[in-house]
Structure 1
Amino acid sequence: MTLSTGSPPLANRRRGLFVFLAVAYIGMWAAMSPLLASGYRRGDAREETGALEQVCIAAAMLAPALAAILVVRCVERGGRVRDTLALRWTKPWGRAARACLTAFVVPAGLTTAALVIGTFAGRYPFGGVHWNGLGAWAAGAVLNMLVSLPLFFGEELGWQGYLFPRLARDGGRRRLIRAYVVTGAAFALWHLPTLLMGGQYPGRPWYVSVPAMLVSCVLILPVFTWLRLRSGSVVPAVIGHAFVSSVSVGMVKEFADPQATLDPLHMGMAGWPGWTVTGVFVAFLTLTGRLQPSFYTARAISRPRRSANYEPTTGE
């Protein structure tokens, strides 16, 4: 399993990391500047985003991808953008379909487990399952997720396509751990403007929301990386991220008592129930070696070629 193609000089890689982070962060703050200037603040987890908020969020989400493309083409000059950022489909197509399904099923299972834990702990106001409208709600949630996928490519081409592979390149176990932690922290702190406005944790001060976001991102990032490693493509990581940020949030609202106050810090994937189930799953991935690129390289080498188009380095 190869994380990227080409090997730009060390000086170019270091310069590229700096430029990537600078452009991604500046892009985020610039995109959010209209909301920051207007004094916008999200006060309730059920509050819907307005047109201006949606435009600003969409622009911000494109910043990491633009930063990654800029670095690959103009700073590192190490190969084609599509190959370097793993913007490709897993082959054969059956494996691609399974990889995408896994990227959907795993976050759904983690979210369900988090809601169950929150309910039994008395922190999630479970309101029951409304079976009559469940199918329509699920179809609408998945459709909205699919429509928003291009925006999540904007994020994951940066974090999984560029940053994590650069930090983990040619490193041993300690460097790999550092790559997971640093990428997760960079991913979390990139959200700082939205955290200051109560985006992910409405009603919470920054000194609560920022550490909470750090925990959430450092824990969930290995799940997205696992989806990317096992498939050799950034696409499953995009799907997993889109599910966590859209359908998972919708599940918290859908199954809650409609009159109850929702506190993301105590429910769903962004709160301690989600940290618990994600931490257990990441521990499983770690203990079984599935967070190491070498795990997939060994499996690919031992798997016989099944066709002329089969690429042994693209998945599990």
Structure 2
Amino acid sequence: MKSRGDVWVFLGIVFALPWLLRGLEVVTGTRFLYWAIMVSVAVATWVAARYFWRPAEGVARATSILPVRPWHRTLGWCGLAFVLFVVMSAAAVALNAVTGIYPVDLDGFSALRDVYAPDTAGRTGVPWDLIGQALVANLGQFVLILPLAFYEEWGWRGYLLNRLREPLGTWPAMILIGVICGVWHMPGFVPAGADGLWPLLPFTVFCVFFGVLLGWLRLASGSIWPAVVGHAVNNTVVFSFVQVVVADKAAEDRIDGWLTGLSGWQGLVIMSIPIAVLAVRTRRSPGVGIENRQG
């Protein structure tokens, strides 16, 4: 069996840095963990790939950063990833509303007004101007977070997926990476408050489905860039989508990770559909997403 010592180096760095950064937050009283831990994945990837794995074809190709040509194909997959996550989020919120689990307000858009125009609270009708503001704000956040999403995806779906597929198989590798990602987020759940670390469990289940979907996007396209776009749009536009339709701020505070949004059972069912389609498509396309892997 070929050596995978670089994987252990990667895991050691990627788990140690977030806890060190969390300690710095506590000591300094500042808050930078959200973006800093995403950077830590890139640090772990670079050290493990550049100094321990040393792939013959170069780090960029071995971790699926390259090639990106033909451009129209890569851009097409990136566009699909963007639209896919927005549509899935809308479908999940719709199912939440139909089942009565997560009430929505399509008459007054109270939570949207609470965020963008508190002085309009209580008014009815569709506030197109506020919806436009929310869209522009979230698209701006999407652009800003793209580099951070790249840092993560370079590690999870660029480096680690390529390194684990050969010894474990594609499905086990993607599921294991999803579990690793969920547990890796633990410093962000500390201090955990009254609920303890319990919310980490549904979040980890979501990370498995989310990671498998990003993994198949990566394999079907042969590039990490669609996964980067999917990750970024999930952390911005999708995450904030609920503000457009949620009934009120109090309802948002009652969100149960097992029941609402893409992390709820509705969202998991919805994500399973494109996962199945991409898995079938990839397996029916010989050579798609297959990299030269070095031991």
TM-score if structure 1 supplies the norm length?
0.77
Q: Aligned residue for 2:154?
A: 157
**Residue number among 267, 274, 278 corresponding to 2:267 in the alignment:** 274
Higher helix share: 2
What displacement does 1:269 show? 1.7
What displacement does 1:37 show? 5.5
Q: Aligned residue for 2:16?
A: 26
Measure, in 1, the Cα distance between the counterparts of 2:102 and 2:69.
41
- Spell out, residue by residue over 1:77-125, the C-alpha distance to the aligned partner (whole angstroms, 9 max, x if none): 1132211111135322211221110110011111011100111111212
Counting only pairs closer than 5 Å after superposition, residues 254-293 of structure 1 correspond to structure 2 as: 254-262=244-252, 263-265=255-257, 266-286=259-279, 289-290=280-281, 292=282
What displacement does 1:149 show? 0.8
**1:10 corresponds to which letter in structure 2?**
K
Counting only pairs closer than 5 Å after superposition, residues 1-316 of structure 1 correspond to structure 2 as: 10-11=2-3, 14-36=4-26, 52-53=30-31, 55-79=32-56, 80-88=58-66, 90-128=68-106, 130-169=127-166, 175-198=169-192, 204-206=195-197, 208-262=198-252, 263-265=255-257, 266-286=259-279, 289-290=280-281, 292=282, 294-297=283-286
> Does the CA contact (< 8 Å) of 1:16 and 1:75 recur in 2?
yes
Bigger mean CA offset, 133-142 vs 276-285: 276-285
Measure, in 1, the Cα distance between the counterparts of 2:127 and 2:185.
34
What displacement does 1:139 show? 2.0
> Does the CA contact (< 8 Å) of 2:218 and 2:224 recur in 1?
yes
**1:245 corresponds to which letter in structure 2?**
N
- Spell out, residue by residue over 1:134-162, the C-alpha distance to the aligned partner (whole angstroms, 9 max, x if none): 22321221111111111111111110011
**1:251 corresponds to which letter in structure 2?**
F
Measure, in 1, the Cα distance between the counterparts of 2:151 and 2:43.
7
Measure, in 2, the Cα distance between the counterparts of 1:271 and 1:139.
27
What displacement does 1:274 show? 1.7
Measure, in 2, the Cα distance between the counterparts of 1:178 and 1:185.
11
**2:196 corresponds to which letter in structure 1?**
P
Question: Any gaps of 5 or more consecutive residues in structure 1?
Answer: 1-8, 41-51, 301-311
Measure, in 1, the Cα distance between the counterparts of 2:68 and 2:194.
42
Identity within the alignment, %? 26
> Does the CA contact (< 8 Å) of 2:158 and 2:224 recur in 1?
yes
- Spell out, residue by residue over 1:260-284, the C-alpha distance to the aligned partner (whole angstroms, 9 max, x if none): 3321513212333322211333244
> Does the CA contact (< 8 Å) of 1:88 and 1:235 recur in 2?
no
Q: Aligned residue for 1:304?
A: none
Alignment CA distance shift 1:167-1:298 (3 Å): closer
> Does the CA contact (< 8 Å) of 1:141 and 1:247 recur in 2?
yes
> Does the CA contact (< 8 Å) of 2:154 and 2:224 recur in 1?
yes
**1:179 corresponds to which letter in structure 2?**
A
| Residue aligned with 2:199, SS | helix
What displacement does 1:34 show? 3.2
Measure, in 2, the Cα distance between the counterparts of 1:142 and 1:151.
15
How many residue pairs end up in the alignment? 268
> Does the CA contact (< 8 Å) of 1:195 and 1:210 recur in 2?
yes
Give RMSD over aligned pairs: 2.4
| Residue aligned with 2:251, SS | coil
